[in-house]
Structure 1
């Protein structure tokens, strides 16, 4: 990843704190197969929101110079709690969308591999059906997640 793909943001905590929620970590992956720490919500009026540079969907790569590329969720939270009155973040903007697109493409290609490799009558083996079903299910879950994130109402109550 080049420095063009990242940005450094320094936030002053202020009275309302940094003001954002994170998800992820290798123990609690926000996106299947991705161990990153992602910003999932900004608190209105808090430091990150008023600063305007940190966005929902950004991946946090470092907190005060300490890498969080392959840590547990709790380790990342602990690093945030130990920051002083200001916090320096290295972030990858819009990483959530990129990771979801990559995961969806990977699932689609894995699901289609079985049909392109097996031109004979063994197309519907148990393992091929399981791979296709798991890929379709995960792709559906990713689609529902993105729809909800965009605020789309798919089901009427």
Structure 2
């Protein structure tokens, strides 16, 4: 499936309310649907987290994601504003906490560093240590959220 999906208002609200339907690995995948990445790209980026096609379909069935083409039937060019550092931080922080939290006691100090990061620059400075600790595959969604 190579469709390009976008978040719906219902999906954005569920994300803000930390809905159980958007918990764990699917929350990370949900963040990557920005109207530019295809489903295949998101699945590749979240492969290390164990996200599969069925997870994406469940988000669509819940009404949290919709096809970009269905949303813009005239296929007019969509202006995608540049993401601010604050937006990048907001998107990346939960991913960083989840990754370092899975490291257990061995990642305790790294987790404290992430939790102490209060802005984009702080989180970007800790990112290389996270990549080293979790590996490139698991780090990919965080890299996308921080630097894409």
TM-score (norm 2): 0.29
Q: Which has the larger radius of gyration?
A: 1
Structure with greater helix share of residues: 2
Structure with greater strand share of residues: 1
Higher relative contact order (CA 8 A, sep 6+): 2
